[in-house]
A = this chain, B = another copy of it.
Amino acid sequence: MISNHLHNGMESAKLMWSRLPNSEDADFEGLSPSESSGAGGGGSVESLDYEVIENYAYREEQAQRGKLYVGFYVGVKWFFALLIGVGTGLAAVFINISVENFAGWKYSLTFSIIQKSYIAGFIVFVLINLALVYSSVYIITQFAPAAAGSGIPELKGYLNGIDTHGILLFRTLIGKIFGSIGSVGGGLALGKEGPLVHTGACIASLLGQGGSTKYHLSSRWLQVFKSDRDRRDLVTCGCAAGVAAAFRAPVGGVLFALEEVTSWWRSQLMWRVFFTSAIVAVVVRTAMGWCKSGKCGHFGSGGFIIWDVSDGQEDYSFVELLPMAVIGVIGGLLGALFNQLTLYLTHWRRNYLHKRGSRVKMIEVCLISVITSAISFGLPLFRKCTPCPEVDVNSGIECPRPPGMYGNYVNFYCSNDKEYNDLATIFFNTQDDAIRNLFSAKTIHEFSAQSLLTFLVMFYSLAVVTFGTAVPAGQFVPGIMIGSTYGRLVGKFVVSFYKKLNIEEGTYALLGAASFLGGSMRMTVSLCVIMVEITNNLKLLPLIMLVLLISKAVGDAFNEGLYEEQARLRGIPLLESRPKYQMRQMTAKEACGNQKVVYFPRVAKVADVVSILMSNSHNGFPVIDHTRSGETLVIGLVLRSHLLVLLQSKADFQHSPLPSALRGRSLPIRHRISEFVKPASSKGLSIHDIHLSHDDLEMYIDLAPFVNPSPYIVPDDMSLTKVYNLFRQLGLRHIFVVPRASRVLGVITRKDLLIEGDEDSSAVELQSASVRSQRDKRLSKRNADVEPPLLDGLLG
């Protein structure tokens, strides 16, 4: 009878566990790290406790509610994917229209002033930039510190199970949108693409938690997704939507999300991510079509980055492969150097500069803005203008370009009307237009080698210095700028060396851009697809692939990719795709080191729980119980966050040190499941927040209903390489290392998993019921005869 009670207790434990909010497959959760120190790009992860992901069983709750609920649930998922697509698309359109209008207005004002005075023009130009940049840095430092930087390393961390505080808040979203309008509009050497990815992720996360609670924007019926797995899926959709919106590259967005951001791969998720990207593409296209009629001010010919090179080089000869390989090598070297320099600089900034508070951050950014403005206005002044070449009237290229319009051949500080300033064409221009000019075909010899080299050196330095300041900053567009400059430089030599007619410098510029991004970010397939999608030229695909291969290989010889380096600097413990070489020699036991395992007994004294939680910073604890014969038995894993909720609510405290199941058949579920939901937008509970009276400390708590009864286990002498793969492939947080088993109850092979599914829902219900009854039968049978009763001796 008693053992029966116990059995019920354990069954109820499973039930309760499976009802807990993060009992979905592969959720992750844990306390958010300590106070954000405010250093660097905000949202720093200093004493991070290595939150990791764990797989749990699917909710039985769903099964109880039946197929209807599942259908509703799936429908909501797709509806959310739609909303994310629409939201991210609209955000992207808003950012782009704003940036283009600010920048366009700035340049046209400056151009109109410099007709009279270059000094006045310079002052106006500097001041407008400063105002825009100041607004950006003000928003970031005062309102949304987590919105600084590109956000991609933090997102990678989040999707790998490491929760950086504040990256998905509503204020971060606002800060990201308006901050990047300021910083990009203000002409700094940074892009708006990384921030757009972050924006998409924020939108997705806020939708998933039903709006922002803090700003009373939450809606109850949206709060369908309580599990972290669902939230993470939404954020993955958001990342893809961000890329799709930033580059108008829907397939590139899907691949980016799956290659770069997540560490796993599920075809259902891919399918939904794909849908989100398609929605983004439609939304963006619709908005662009609406803007074509001139309703969006300066936005129009510029705007979303599409650098159409479809009229570029049609063909290439074998001899061109050599200079292309050279571009790949340069890209690898410069990219690796960029990563290394930014790493040092960010390190220095975090440790010395940004510790001094937000005023230093603001001064720093303003200083960089003034320097950037001075260089981009001043340097072209020293450049002698070039006479306009004879251009084909049909090509649509004018020299010099008409005032106030976009295009090549900028007339700036030239004595003659029929001249243009090649340095101003790339420097004194928005980045989008500069790249368009660098990519442009049919404009051979537009840029002198001297101008390109000057620009390369200056812009590279500016990009390095700007990286890591307290403004939203992407590295895609600066990377493309740098790459296309040296690419065009190489193209110039190729054109003059091979003297063939069909070689276009613009094609080399494109390859240069791909090579620098490959050398810095080390992406492969997704980058390749993005490059093809933004340039709208499939013919160059094999060339882009080869250049990427070379530049990534060269870069890998020196250091890690930009995002990995930055993540490591911020203390985000990303697991690399490849286990370390020396892991082959190690066993699972060795990885645990000499750490003492901190157990909880099944029924723990509250005072003990508190002191254990105080004494260490682990996030998961094994729970053990004693069999009648005095042997111990591991009954599961309990999470720190769940313990804290239990301690705070006190509802499950009991006076007796006996398991609660022994004191009546009723299940001891006094908690609402939503209490266990990890708050996405606050820092979560800490043990120091919990105040317990002396009486409380003397009480007991039965942990059995709150444990995860089957965490993943590995034998102690398993190779660490295998453990690593298990961790990474399944996205785990904790693995129990256990002694070698004494016997095998069964061997599961592939055929055991090939259960024929019934499409009919009633059949499923029936079957699951029969399975359950069968299982009960088996369990009782097990208890009765062959095997030693699993939980028979829990009385201890």
Enumerate chain A interface residues (CB-CB to B < 8 A): 14, 25-26, 50-52, 55-60, 62-63, 70, 161-162, 250-251, 254-255, 258-259, 264-268, 270-271, 274-275, 277-278, 281-282, 285-286, 289, 310, 315, 318, 524-525, 528-529, 532-533, 536, 538-539, 541-542, 545-546, 549, 552, 573, 575, 577-593, 595, 597, 599, 618-620, 622, 624, 631-635, 709-710, 712-727, 729-730, 733-755, 757, 764, 767-768, 771-772, 774-775, 778, 787, 790
- Structural contact, B632 and A742, CB atoms closer than 8 A: yes
Chain B, residue nearest A541 (CB):
B250
Nearest residue, chain B, Cβ from A623: B744
B725/A730 in contact, CB under 8 A: yes
Residues of B near A634 (CB, < 8 A) are: 740-744
Considering the complex, give the chain B residue whose CB is closest to the CB of A273. B525
Query: B716 to A255, Cβ gap below 8 A?
Result: no
Please measure, in the bound complex, the distance between the C-alpha atom of A28 and the C-alpha atom of B91, giving whole angstroms: 48
Can you list 11 pairs linking A and B with CB atoms under 8 Å apart? A60-B584, A254-B525, A285-B542, A579-B753, A592-B746, A624-B743, A634-B742, A710-B715, A716-B745, A729-B729, A730-B730
Is there an interface contact between B753 and A723, defined as CB atoms closer than 8 Å? Answer: yes
A744 and B585 contact, CB distance less than 8 A: no
Query: Nearest chain B CB to A580's CB is how many angstroms away?
Result: 4
A788, closest chain B residue (CB): B739
Alpha-carbon separation in the docked complex, A59 to B552 (Å) = 28
Contacts of A589 in B (CB 8 A): 745-746, 778
CA distance A547 to B532 in the complex (A): 22
B734, A748: Cβ atoms under 8 Å?
A: yes
**Contacts of A746 on B, CB cut-off 8 Å?**
588-589, 591-593, 595, 597, 716, 736-737
Contact B591 A748 (CB under 8 A): yes
Q: Looking at the complex, which one of B55, B62, B289 makes contact with A722 (CB distance below 8 Å)?
A: B55
CA distance A270 to B577 in the complex (A): 11
The interface residues of chain B lying within 8 Å CB-to-CB of A270 are 259, 524-525
Chain B residues near A736 (CB, 8 Å)?
741, 744, 746-747
Report the nearest B residue to A637, measured CB to CB: B747
Q: Is the beta-carbon distance between A631 and B575 smaller than 8 angstroms?
A: no
Other A-B contacts than A589-B746, A592-B752, A734-B749, 14 sampled, CB-CB below 8 A, are: A50-B751, A52-B749, A56-B722, A59-B584, A268-B577, A277-B545, A580-B755, A584-B768, A588-B748, A590-B774, A634-B744, A720-B753, A729-B730, A735-B748
A721 touches B25 (CB 8 A): yes
Report B-chain residues with C-beta under 8 Å of the C-beta of A539.
536
Contact of A573 among B52, B754, B772, B787 (CB under 8 A): B754
Q: Is A722 within 8 A of B743, CB to CB? A: no
Contact in complex: A743, B738 (CB < 8 Å): yes
Whole-angstrom distance between the Cβ of A111 and the nearest chain B Cβ: 33
Closest-by-CB residue of B relative to A52 is B750
Residues of B close to A161: CB separation below 8 A:
750
In the complex, what's the smallest C-beta–C-beta distance from A673 to chain B, in angstroms?
17
Q: Closest approach, in angstroms, between the C-beta of A635 and any C-beta of chain B?
A: 8
Using Cβ atoms and an 8 Å threshold, which residues of chain B touch A62? 584
Expressed in whole angstroms, the minimum distance between the Cβ of A77 and any Cβ of chain B is 13
Q: Nearest CB to that of A635 among chain B residues?
A: B740
Q: Which residues of B contact A771 (CB under 8 A)?
A: 582, 585-586, 590
The 10 A-B residue pairs with the shortest CB-CB distance, nearest first, are: A592-B746, A57-B719, A738-B741, A278-B545, A281-B542, A265-B265, A710-B718, A52-B750, A50-B751, A267-B577
User: Which residues of B have CB within 8 Å of A624?
Assistant: 743-744
Q: How far is the CA of A775 from the CA of B267 in the complex (A)?
A: 41
Residue of chain B at shortest CB distance from A266: B577
User: Cα distance A717–B778 when bound, in Å?
Assistant: 12
User: Which of chain B's residues have a CB closer than 8 A to the CB of A281?
Assistant: 541-542, 545
State how many copies of this chain the complex holds: 2
The residue of chain B having its C-beta at the shortest distance from the C-beta of A289 within the complex is B315
- Contact among B50, B267, B268, B631 with A750 in the assembled complex (CB-CB below 8 Å): B50
User: How many angstroms from the CA of A753 to the CA of B533 in the assembled complex?
Assistant: 38
Using Cβ atoms and an 8 Å threshold, which residues of chain B touch A716?
745-746
* Min CB gap A413→B, angstroms: 39
Contact present for B747 and A735 (CB under 8 Å): yes
Chain B residues near A735: list those with CB within 8 A: 747-748
- Residues of B contacting A580 in the complex (Cβ-Cβ under 8 angstroms): 755, 757
Q: How long is the Cα–Cα vector from A278 to B532 in the complex, in angstroms?
A: 14
Complex CA distance for A28 and B524, rounded to whole angstroms: 28
Taken together as a complex, chains A and B put the C-alpha atoms of A275 and B274 apart, in Å, by: 25
| Separation of A264 and B729 alpha carbons in the complex (Å) | 9
CA distance A737 to B597 in the complex (A): 24
A592 contact from B573, B579, B586, B745, Cβ within 8 A: B745
Give chain B nearest CB distance to A239 CB in angstroms. 15
Q: Give the distance to chain B from A34, nearest Cβ to Cβ, in Å.
A: 16
Cα A264 to Cα B267 with chains together (Å): 10
Residues of B close to A264: CB separation below 8 A: 265, 729
Residues of B within 8 A of A533 (CB): 538, 541
Residue of B nearest to A599 (CB): B744
Which B residues are in CB contact (< 8 Å) with A588?
746, 748
Chain B residues with CB under 8 A of A579: 753
Q: Please measure, in the bound complex, the distance between the C-alpha atom of A118 and the C-alpha atom of B55, giving whole angstroms.
A: 70
Chain B residue, CB-CB nearest to A538: B536
Chain B residue contacts of A50, Cβ below 8 A: 749-751
The complex places the Cα of A110 from the Cα of B254 at a distance, in Å, of 49
Docked Cα-Cα span, A710 to B714, in Å, equals 8
A584 and B733 contacting across the interface, CB-CB below 8 Å: no
Q: Cβ of A742 and Cβ of B739 under 8 Å apart? A: yes
- How far is it, in angstroms, between the C-alpha of A315 and the C-alpha of B292 when the chains are bound? 13
Contacts of A578 in B (CB 8 A): 268
A747-B577 contact given A275-B549, A582-B755, A753-B723, CB 8 Å threshold: no
> Once bound together, how far apart are the Cα atoms of A265 and B580, in whole Å?
18
Asked whether, in the complex, the Cβ of A709 is within 8 Å of the Cβ of B713, the reply is no
**Chain B residue with the shortest CB-CB distance to A756:** B580
- Nearest CB of B to A738, in Å: 4
Whether the pair A542, B592 counts as a contact (CB closer than 8 A) is no
CA distance A643 to B289 in the complex (A): 69
Complex CA–CA separation, A564 to B341 (angstroms): 50
Shortest A544–chain B CB gap in Å is: 9
Contact of A585 among B274, B577, B775 (CB under 8 A): B775
A768 CA / B528 CA spacing, docked (Å): 38
**How many angstroms between the C-alpha atoms of A438 and B407 in the bound complex?**
39
Contact B747 A58, beta carbon cutoff 8 Å: no
> Complex Cα distance A138/B738, Å?
59
A358 to chain B, nearest CB (A): 31
Return the contact of A58 from the options B14, B721, B768 (Cβ within 8 A).
B721
- Write the nearest CB–CB distance from A737 to chain B, whole angstroms: 4
Kindly report which residue of chain B lies nearest to residue A577, judged by CB atoms.
Answer: B267
Taken together as a complex, chains A and B put the C-alpha atoms of A775 and B592 apart, in Å, by 13
Which one of B251, B546, B633 lies within 8 Å of A528 (CB-CB)? B251
Contact call B575/A524, Cβ cutoff below 8 A: no
A355 → B minimal CB distance (Å): 25
Write out the residue numbers on chain B whose beta carbons fall within 8 Å of the beta carbon of A259.
Answer: 267, 270
